[in-house]
Amino acid sequence: MRYLIQLLLATAATTAFAAPPDLDAPHLNVIPRTAEEAARIATVTAPATEFDRPEPFETNPAGAATVSPRGNADTFSLPSGNIPFERELDFKVGNGLFKKLWVSSPSSTLASDGLGPLFNARSCQRCHLKDGRGHPPEGPEDDAVSMFLRISVPTTPEEAMSEIEAFLLSVGDSTPRTRPDPVYGGQLQDFGTAGHPAEYRLDVRYEEAKVALSDGETASLRRPTYSAEDLGYGPLAEGAMLSPRVAPPMIGLGLLEAIPAADILALADPEDADGDGISGRAQIVWSFEHARPMLGRFGWKSGAPTIREQSASAFAGDIGISSPIFDAAWGDCTTKQTTCRAAPHGDGDARATEIDAEGLDLVTFYSRNLAVPARRDVSAPEVLRGKAVFYEAGCTSCHQPKFVTERLEDQPEQSFQLIWPMTDLLLHDMGEGLADNRPEGRANGREWRTAPLWGIGLTEQVNGHTQFLHDGRARSLLEAVLWHGGEAQPARDAVVEMPKADRDALIRYLESL
């Protein structure tokens, strides 16, 4: 039930929004900053104004938690560079749970049963390949294990559940709602255990479109069309909205969680009061673990407030595994899917949920401490020129370069670090080209969270591809830039019109991140 409530909230769109005054994460033991520290932070996070040399500490985007990149596909799978020795065992056990292949019930492996019955993957690692970026299926022989479709349908406030409605009313929202499909739930699962048909098969078709660039260059963008084929439980509900998602990289999540909410909210400008065309908005979601509204940070539209809650939601929706936060043993199966709900599950007398609190904590610790690799070639002249172009084109209006994390009593790895995630963690209108036309929380059908850019230049090394954006449509960093619209349209147009040498330098800079 709580998982369905979360899905209902995650698909509720709002416009006018009075944010609650306290959106900080109550699970973080924060040591308040002094006035002297605040002044120092303002100085070190000020935007760069000179580009003839790297800024101090720019090589280490995760502060002391940064690690030296390996020359292989394991470079996103290392623990925080400053992790104490006594905490490394927790990281390794969490890694084991992240990789663990769950099996269907009943099973002799009692600690691993409970899969599905409907699911997208058998483990976290199957979607977050090498802790990196997923990809869309490439041809009929390639499955969509690191990509799925979210689904929701229009609804009315009267049909919305009371807990959700109370929250939305408390923040002044009165806009139309959406809810999960009454049969298929909040996302479509493309696998089923024995005796349970999969919900669908993902079909992707592309249409190529040429884009003219300066200096006689051209680029080609592929516009995707997604459909749910071979539906296993009847037609989708009328008005069903589908939105594709590839698994995002896992690095640096604990540092993003440790950025003060006040620092993120200070960047929001929902009415574009400064007239710069950028109107970032904070995503506010309901935390089911803490029973309060919180700042959304995780997911393509910031639908989850904490790493632990995001992990529990993924266990429920992607693998069909219950946890202390979302305790339905059947995951995303709806009341219409009676066979799924009546099937054997992995909870019972021996354990209340299929992954217990200790296991969820270990997965959370692992996810929190996947390290960000160090920058490469930060002093190279072309990289420095590309950085200047990045600033001049206005990219930093959304891809905020620097923050300083909270002082944390019990998280030394994330405590008081100067970090360079290249995101403001806000929602921005990205234009019609990237629109999924499916609301999620405060995000409307054209808005997405600014994606962190740290580590993006190592995607091919880790995952063997260069496919970017929320659905992997962009086959290169340049294509990803060219898909930007809405608030980012002026920056995108500047890239189209700038000399080829500057455009090449910009891509070189991005590859160094």
- Tens-level pLDDT at each residue, the chain (513 residues): 334 334 433 433 333 344 444 677 788 899 999 999 999 999 999 999 999 999 999 999 999 999 999 999 999 999 999 999 999 999 999 999 999 999 999 887 778 899 999 999 999 999 999 999 999 988 766 777 899 999 999 876 666 554 555 665 666 655 457 889 999 999 999 999 999 999 999 999 999 999 999 999 999 999 999 999 999 999 999 999 999 999 999 999 999 999 999 999 999 998 889 999 999 999 988 898 998 889 999 999 999 999 999 999 999 999 999 999 999 999 999 999 999 999 999 887 678 999 999 999 999 999 999 999 999 999 999 999 999 999 999 999 999 999 999 999 999 999 999 999 999 999 999 999 999 999 888 888 999 999 999 999 999 999 999 999 999 999 999 999 999 999 999 999 999 999 999 999 999 999 999
Buried b (16+ CB within 10 A) or exposed e, 264-289: bbebbbbeeeeeeebbbbbbbbbbbb
84-87 long-range Cβ contacts below 8 angstroms, 24+ apart: 84/412, 87/365, 87/369, 87/413
C-alpha distances in Å from residue 176, one per residue of 149, 159, 435: 22, 11, 18
pLDDT at 157: 60
162: its two tokens: 């009371």
* Phi, psi dihedral angles at 215 (to 5 degrees): 60, 30
pLDDT at 27: 85
pLDDT at 165: 55
342: its two tokens: 């009546």
Q: Are 280 and 267 in contact (CB under 8 A)?
A: yes
| Helix extents (H) in 303-428 | 307-314, 338-342, 357-368, 381-392
Q: Tell me which amino acid residue 394 is.
A: G
Q: Tell me which amino acid residue 64 is.
A: A
d(CA 202, CA 147): 9
Enumerate helices (H) and strands (E) in the chain, giving the number of each. 15, 15
d(CA 471, CA 1): 29
Q: Are 295 and 287 in contact (CB under 8 A)?
A: no
pTM over 0.85: yes
Buried b (16+ CB within 10 A) or exposed e, 336-374: ebeebbebebbbeeeeebbbeeebbbbbbbbbbbbbbbb
Q: Strands, E, within 105-200: which ranges?
A: 118-119, 147-155, 177-179, 191-192
Terminal C-alpha separation, the chain: 41
